[in-house]
Structure 1
Amino acid sequence: MTMERKLTPVLGLLITLSLQAQEPLKRLTLSDAVLKAHSDLAPQHLDRLDWVTGSGSYSYLKGDSLMRNGVGKMADRPVIDLEGLRGSLPPGAAEMERFPAITWQDPDHFTFSHNDRVYSIDLTSRTLQEQCQLLPHAENQDAGPNGRIAYTVDNDLYISIPGTSGTIKVTNDGGDGIVNGKSVHRQEYGIEKGTFWSPQGNLLAFYRMDETMVTPYMLEEIESKPSTFKKIRYPMAGQNSHEVKVGVFDLRTKEILFLNTGEPKDQYLTNLAWSTDERYLFVTHLDRATTKARLVQYDVTSGNPIAELISDTSSKYVEPLHPPLFVNGSRTSYIWWSQRDGWMHLYLYDLKKGLVRQLTSGNWVVKEILGQDPKGSYLVVAGTADDPGPMTGRGSLETFLYRVDLRSGAVVQLTRDPGTHHGELNKDATQVIDRWSSTSVPGRTEIIDVRSGQVLKTLVDAPDPLAGYRVGSIELLSITGEFGDPLNARLIKPSGFQSRARYPVIVYVYNGPHVQLVSDSWLGGAPLWMLEAAERGYLVFTVDGHGSDDRGLAFEQAVYRHLGAVEMKDQLHGVDYLRGLPYVDRERMAVHGWSFGGFMATSLMLKAPGVFKVAVAGGPVMDWSMYEVMYTERYMDKPEENPDGYAQARLTDKCGQLQGDLLVIHGLDDETVLPEHSYRFLQDCVKEGRQVDFFVYPGHPHNVRGKDRVHLMTKVLDHIDRALGMADGAR
């Protein structure tokens, strides 16, 4: 398959991806589009590609064999295969069905977990050593220095020590409403885990969450007969939230000390980080109103605060997502993330001197710190491209890798090829593995020199995985949205597209915070099912409106206190753009979205009646007062503080405005958007005499995954087909 990428001005940016192939072309089935999207039909890549600690080489998995190579021209060499790893297991060990995830200790040793045991293998002698044994049902494993592993069983915290058969039980009070060692605040504010090892592994910080004051919520489980109910604690906007403490467990004394974090008890304690000498723990405090984030330094011997180091404030909201990162070779210098200038940038601070300098600046967003060199001279980061203007949006389409000098603040772009780059830095920060794609490059994996940006070796140059399939074209567009701001959009056309024909449209929507659907990556960021949908005879359209990711703080905060209002106007600007195209059938438009996108799809049907003939809303928020505290109050404040905003966004009392065909889908086990949202919406539909379709997926949480996703997408697209007269034989 040959692919062409051309830039043409269409209200800003038009990237056309032409997918051409020699005959015969196969039809892309919906089943393949869903089940093979990350395997056979994904661009070729090296599985489990990783740097080998203490060497200049990398490893990856090829079939059942672990392979290793370096930047030179030597051939890949096998390290060990699955059969060899099985043979090293002790007698009586459970069968190892697939090659496990590994962690390199040095060039000759790696560790892995198998059932309830952690092993280290010596690759020279092919001997296996049991590091430690975990209790049954262990979860949330967190490996620390010296091979120590923290983990949870139920709601208590444990530690296993290498070379001992015993297990330390850190907490004893876990139970209904008391949770130790797990993520808190519903994984908002960058919280992804509940344990934090000190640099030498002598201390373990952990979260303790008391949610006994949060109203219980029951979810029905039908695996048994009769069905049972699972109790969860779900803090809804404006209601009681849980209370969190930070404990510090000393492995030498076996004692716990809790930090004196003060009032109010429902504050958010986020982004924990240790000092290099293990004397201090740093915690970012965020008030429940989310208007002030404070970085506080704690003495772990007394639990008392030592100093408030940084305070970031906003009249709308602040959202701390990253802990401070201490600079290698220094006990006092650290990196701080902040959006104080309107974009997510990095700042160099000192514990004694305060702010030293702003490291990055401009109309772009730092997305990730990949690491730093051993001497603390520079960082390697991933970030968007610098926008030519503060609101063009073009820069957000791409992600590049950069080197940031900590002394001068100079920023050097390491990757030049347009597209979306993801990096993995080696330990000495001299080379980075760059995995990237674009609308014209299915996937490429390269090793780049961090000093020069030179490509040292190409590991993979993936061919087009859709070669031989009949698929259409993908265009990245810029359209004008609310306030006159350019919005990034994507339009998928069917193969054999004819400009004189008139095509129905499926608008796929999310348009919520922290999500970007359109990018300069393979297929423009589109999932494969959209290409299958286009082959049914549709145009498939997506626009990233105000509130979506990587466009700066002003673009995101345009939705503050009125979720759905500006976003809906942006989506309707997208509809206006479509209606201006001569090949669009204005009378046959559908909208589909999930989660925030389900809220948007339903909002468009109720508040812009007649625009869309049919909508499919999955896992939709129907009333923001029933959604979780942390997310909702950040964008909407409390219901009593913003009654008009909540009333405007509420959909459970607007069913009388429904025109057209609406299908609502919900997972029965959804702990993110509770099924009650859909139930209350249906209740109002009955009250107003409005007919809607409703489907429940038993056993599925907020998203439907695995083989059942084929059923889901079949239901979605077949429903749209019927509503728009596109059923088999009528296309």
Structure 2
Amino acid sequence: MRLFLISCLVVAFYAAGAQRQIAVEDFTVRNTFGQKSVYGINWMKNGQFYSSLQNNKVVKYSITTGQPVETIVDGAGLSPALQIDDYSLSADETKVLLLTDVESIYRHSFTAQYFVYDIAQKTVKPLSGNGKQSYAAFSPDGSKVAFVRGNNVFYVTLADMQEVQVTTDGKFNHIINGTTDWVYEEEFSFVDGFQWSPDSKKLAYYRFDESGVREYNLQRWGKTLYPTDYRFKYPKAGEANSIVEIWLYDVASKQKVKADIGTETDIYIPRIKWTHDAQLLSVRRLNRLQNSLDVLHVNAATGASRVVLNEKSDTYVDLDFIDNLLYLDNGTQFIHASERSGYKHLYLYDMNGKLVRQLTQGNFEIADVVGVDEKGKTLYFTSTEVSPRERYFYSLSFDGKKKTRLTAAPGTHRINMSSDYQFYIDYYSQSAKPLVVSLYKTKGNALLKVLENNETLAKAQEEYGFANKEFFSFKAADGTTTLDGFFLKPRNFDASKKYPVLVYQYSGPGSQEVTDSWGGRHFIFHQILTQKGYVVAVIDPRGTGARGEHFKKINYKQLGKYELEDHLAGAKYLASLPYIDPARIGIWGWSFGGYISSLAMTKGAGVFKMGIAVAPVTNWRFYDNIYTERFQQTPQMNASGYDDNSPSTYAGNLKGNFLLIHGTGDDNVHFQNSVVLEAALINAGKKFRSFYYPDKDHHILGGPTRLHLYTMMCDYVLESL
């Protein structure tokens, strides 16, 4: 009876509008506000089903009802039992490749154990008994599985489970076959550096010679008597890169042919892709300064190549374009993206690179190409046409005459479409509404089933009194450009009072934080601050994305200059608001955002009372060359662009409360960045605080680390602002 009465009192208490308090543990140790989704979607070949990974089971669902109809494989029921981390089906859907026991290396790379499950026989076999594998993939005919181990390429013939070694010269820190070096992985966002030809008769693969790349020495402290050195190849701005080659291996003859990608070796190959012709490989070639992109067509038998398309820029060719090269099933055309109009749009070419026509146009950006239905002569995509803060789903006829908006609800829509274009799954959220995942029939745009509505999370945000995004705009430092931001305000906000405000920003080139979607980076941490009486403002300066080429590329050769100017203008705008205390404005950020908050407290000193920088770049000379040179050119060409906006250059200007945080095991933004800034601050006689996390990488994860980090940052905000 006592428990019953207590429960009733608790219910009445919250029903009356009381607000539960968020603890740091709620999002670092517990998953109180975890947003559910639908993962591992695989559209099946007959068009009536899809599969998904749920609760360690690969489950087959009916598209028309959204109901499960069959468990394809249950990890717990296998012998041996497996924890399924991911899976893929063979093209004929008779076998499943199961991935388990994953060990991460860097951001995308990993090793794992793979198993092959035969659906009809209900048998499971390890892919290889010779050590863990990486990036395993079925051949299109389902007869073989290729993978990488020890920087070499292998494949297994499934009929007899025999292992064939394709390359033999792989060696750590020297030669890499079938996967990528560190900088390709980080900046071109892929590690599976091999591809089967459409007829399963050839393998195309990358070969990196990184012998000439300088090593970075990362000390790992651990619990041993002496720390260990981990040395890996990391090309900083202006330094030498790996020499990259593309090779083609013939399965039947076991012979290899080197693709002709030109005589210049100081280049990048950000993508390869087989066309629908099994004898024609498409290779994208980017020059060192990344302002000229070539599309090459390579003869798979001879390696001979020709350039069919060249895209040039006065600044840089956006990397987003390298994934928007789509070869049509008709074998005679392809679609490519370009910013030549000032906005990212899609163009149709024939296989010789002759422009057929522009497919999309207008003063907005194509966000994602969802599908190309050649039979229905329809293109599907998402775009910013309504607003840069939103993403809607559209269909467009090939002749450009019939465009239809398929999603109506305001907010952000991300689409996963079936291979026959008859169905799609809409991942939708809005600033006050957590993710809703819904299944639609394309014809008639009919909703079939809501697959996930995050009802529990929606109730939790009400119970805890989450602050909703309140969008605002103000003028950039140039006085004409309009910038976007949003507020998170305390639930009991009183406009007659004065509030401290903490600005959060990332500010990186082409990024976007101000979107009409639920959550965002560090969202729950910011909610804690609103509960403690703070206003949080999130701002996107010039140089960020979704608003056209000029807006995004204004910072070319001078990263940090305009971003800082706009955050100083943002602080001035905030100070002008009657409910903001102009003496208590702070700024914080992580990575690029940490760079900007460091710059704000030094070069922009005196505007912000407090700054927090987590894992910041402090001089772009220390960062990798692919990312940095894309925006800055090399230090040899543009020394002032590197030094004129370095926080270390202005360490003597520091004013206000400054907290500098870094993980000593950060392979991405090296701990060196913070060490150099600290030395400059010490030499300038400046007081500040710093904290390092032993052996933690750029994400500062593992064990109780995030609990400690966010608790420390929260305490620092309360103390300093």
TM-score (norm 1): 0.88
Deviation string, structure 1 residues 420-460 (Cα, Å, up to 9, x no partner): 11111112111101110112432222222334333333333
Q: Are 2:90 and 2:96, in contact at CA under 8 Å, matched by a contact in 1?
A: yes
The change in CA–CA distance for 1:108 and 1:575 in structure 2 (over 3 A counts) is same
Deviation string, structure 1 residues 534-580 (Cα, Å, up to 9, x no partner): 11221111111111122111111111111111001111121122111
Corresponding residue of 1:709:
706
Q: Which ranges of structure 1 fall in alignment gaps of 5 or more residues?
A: 1-19, 387-394, 725-731
**Following the alignment from structure 1 to structure 2, what is the Cα–Cα distance between the partners of residues 291 and 261?**
17
**Correspondence 1:25-104 to 2 at 5 A:** 25-36=19-30, 39-60=31-52, 63=55, 67-73=59-65, 76-77=68-69, 79=71, 82=74, 85-89=75-79, 93=80, 95-97=81-83, 101-103=87-89
Q: Are 2:526 and 2:536, in contact at CA under 8 Å, matched by a contact in 1?
A: yes
Instruction: After TM superposition, give the deviation of residue 70 of structure 1 in Å.
Output: 3.0
- Of stretches 148-157 and 560-569 in structure 1, the one that deviates more from structure 2 is 148-157
The change in CA–CA distance for 1:620 and 1:27 in structure 2 (over 3 A counts) is same
Match of 2:137 among 130, 139, 142: 142
Deviation string, structure 1 residues 572-605 (Cα, Å, up to 9, x no partner): 1211221111111111122111111111000000
Instruction: After TM superposition, give the deviation of residue 487 of structure 1 in Å.
Output: 1.2
Q: Are 1:320 and 1:338, in contact at CA under 8 Å, matched by a contact in 2?
A: no
**Correspondence 1:1-400 to 2 at 5 A:** 22-36=16-30, 39-60=31-52, 63=55, 67-73=59-65, 76-77=68-69, 79=71, 82=74, 85-89=75-79, 93=80, 95-97=81-83, 101-103=87-89, 110-114=96-100, 116-122=113-119, 127-130=122-125, 132-133=127-128, 135-147=130-142, 148-175=144-171, 176-184=173-181, 185-187=183-185, 188-189=187-188, 191-223=190-222, 224-305=224-305, 307-321=306-320, 322-323=322-323, 325-352=325-352, 354-373=354-373, 375=375, 377-386=377-386, 395-400=387-392
Q: Are 2:417 and 2:425, in contact at CA under 8 Å, matched by a contact in 1?
A: yes
Match of 1:476 among 451, 471, 474: 471
Instruction: Indicate the percent of aligned positions where both proteins have the same amino acid.
Output: 27
Instruction: After TM superposition, give the deviation of residue 648 of structure 1 in Å.
Output: 0.8
Tell which has more relative contact order, 1 or 2 (C-alpha 8 A, sep 6+): 1
Query: Could you say what secondary structure the match of 1:546 adopts?
Result: coil
- Of stretches 530-539 and 400-409 in structure 1, the one that deviates more from structure 2 is 400-409
Q: Are 1:473 and 1:494, in contact at CA under 8 Å, matched by a contact in 2?
A: no
Corresponding residue of 1:723:
720
Query: Could you say what secondary structure the match of 1:467 adopts?
Result: helix
The change in CA–CA distance for 1:222 and 1:376 in structure 2 (over 3 A counts) is farther
Letter in 2 for 1:198: S
The change in CA–CA distance for 1:157 and 1:49 in structure 2 (over 3 A counts) is closer
**Following the alignment from structure 2 to structure 1, what is the Cα–Cα distance between the partners of residues 681 and 176?**
39
Query: Could you say what secondary structure the match of 1:317 adopts?
Result: coil
Instruction: After TM superposition, give the deviation of residue 480 of structure 1 in Å.
Output: 1.6
The change in CA–CA distance for 1:109 and 1:179 in structure 2 (over 3 A counts) is closer
Deviation string, structure 1 residues 382-421 (Cα, Å, up to 9, x no partner): 22234xxxxxxxx211111222333446433211211111
Letter in 2 for 1:32: D
**Following the alignment from structure 2 to structure 1, what is the Cα–Cα distance between the partners of residues 333 and 189?**
22
Corresponding residue of 1:9:
none
Instruction: After TM superposition, give the deviation of residue 524 of structure 1 in Å.
Output: 6.7
- Of stretches 211-220 and 639-648 in structure 1, the one that deviates more from structure 2 is 639-648
**Following the alignment from structure 1 to structure 2, what is the Cα–Cα distance between the partners of residues 180 and 87?**
36
Letter in 1 for 2:174: G
Query: Could you say what secondary structure the match of 2:584 adopts?
Result: strand
Q: Are 2:337 and 2:344, in contact at CA under 8 Å, matched by a contact in 1?
A: yes
Instruction: After TM superposition, give the deviation of residue 68 of structure 1 in Å.
Output: 4.3
**Following the alignment from structure 1 to structure 2, what is the Cα–Cα distance between the partners of residues 478 and 586?**
18
The change in CA–CA distance for 1:256 and 1:102 in structure 2 (over 3 A counts) is closer
Query: Could you say what secondary structure the match of 1:720 adopts?
Result: helix
- Of stretches 234-243 and 142-151 in structure 1, the one that deviates more from structure 2 is 142-151
The change in CA–CA distance for 1:470 and 1:286 in structure 2 (over 3 A counts) is same
The change in CA–CA distance for 1:692 and 1:562 in structure 2 (over 3 A counts) is same
Query: Could you say what secondary structure the match of 2:349 adopts?
Result: strand
**Following the alignment from structure 1 to structure 2, what is the Cα–Cα distance between the partners of residues 142 and 72?**
30
Deviation string, structure 1 residues 458-484 (Cα, Å, up to 9, x no partner): 333333141311333421122221331
Query: Could you say what secondary structure the match of 1:186 adopts?
Result: helix
Corresponding residue of 1:11:
none
Aligned length: 686
**Following the alignment from structure 1 to structure 2, what is the Cα–Cα distance between the partners of residues 525 and 383?**
22
Corresponding residue of 2:104:
none
Q: Which ranges of structure 2 fall in alignment gaps of 5 or more residues?
A: 1-13, 102-112
Instruction: After TM superposition, give the deviation of residue 44 of structure 1 in Å.
Output: 4.3
Corresponding residue of 1:405:
397
**Following the alignment from structure 1 to structure 2, what is the Cα–Cα distance between the partners of residues 715 and 258?**
54
The change in CA–CA distance for 1:334 and 1:615 in structure 2 (over 3 A counts) is same
- Of stretches 448-457 and 713-722 in structure 1, the one that deviates more from structure 2 is 448-457
Query: Could you say what secondary structure the match of 2:383 adopts?
Result: strand
Corresponding residue of 1:557:
553
Letter in 1 for 2:22: L
The change in CA–CA distance for 1:638 and 1:179 in structure 2 (over 3 A counts) is same
Corresponding residue of 2:105:
none
Instruction: After TM superposition, give the deviation of residue 291 of structure 1 in Å.
Output: 2.0
Q: Are 2:66 and 2:449, in contact at CA under 8 Å, matched by a contact in 1?
A: no
The change in CA–CA distance for 1:79 and 1:402 in structure 2 (over 3 A counts) is same
**Following the alignment from structure 1 to structure 2, what is the Cα–Cα distance between the partners of residues 114 and 235?**
32
**Correspondence 1:330-729 to 2 at 5 A:** 330-352=330-352, 354-373=354-373, 375=375, 377-386=377-386, 395-408=387-400, 410-463=402-455, 464=458, 465-483=460-478, 484-523=480-519, 527-706=523-702, 707-724=704-721
Q: Are 1:189 and 1:319, in contact at CA under 8 Å, matched by a contact in 2?
A: no
Instruction: After TM superposition, give the deviation of residue 369 of structure 1 in Å.
Output: 2.2
**Following the alignment from structure 1 to structure 2, what is the Cα–Cα distance between the partners of residues 709 and 570?**
30
**Following the alignment from structure 1 to structure 2, what is the Cα–Cα distance between the partners of residues 338 and 106?**
36
**Following the alignment from structure 1 to structure 2, what is the Cα–Cα distance between the partners of residues 687 and 330?**
66
Query: Could you say what secondary structure the match of 1:717 adopts?
Result: helix
Corresponding residue of 2:7:
none
Query: Could you say what secondary structure the match of 2:130 adopts?
Result: coil
**Following the alignment from structure 1 to structure 2, what is the Cα–Cα distance between the partners of residues 268 and 234?**
15
- Of stretches 447-456 and 307-316 in structure 1, the one that deviates more from structure 2 is 447-456
Q: Are 2:333 and 2:350, in contact at CA under 8 Å, matched by a contact in 1?
A: yes
Instruction: After TM superposition, give the deviation of residue 72 of structure 1 in Å.
Output: 4.0
Q: Are 1:190 and 1:320, in contact at CA under 8 Å, matched by a contact in 2?
A: no
Instruction: After TM superposition, give the deviation of residue 636 of structure 1 in Å.
Output: 0.9
Instruction: After TM superposition, give the deviation of residue 627 of structure 1 in Å.
Output: 1.2
TM-score (norm 2): 0.89
Letter in 2 for 1:31: E
The change in CA–CA distance for 1:586 and 1:326 in structure 2 (over 3 A counts) is closer
Letter in 1 for 2:99: S
The change in CA–CA distance for 1:191 and 1:349 in structure 2 (over 3 A counts) is farther
- Of stretches 672-681 and 642-651 in structure 1, the one that deviates more from structure 2 is 642-651
The change in CA–CA distance for 1:330 and 1:556 in structure 2 (over 3 A counts) is same
The change in CA–CA distance for 1:171 and 1:72 in structure 2 (over 3 A counts) is closer
Letter in 2 for 1:515: S
Instruction: After TM superposition, give the deviation of residue 327 of structure 1 in Å.
Output: 4.4
- Of stretches 375-384 and 429-438 in structure 1, the one that deviates more from structure 2 is 375-384
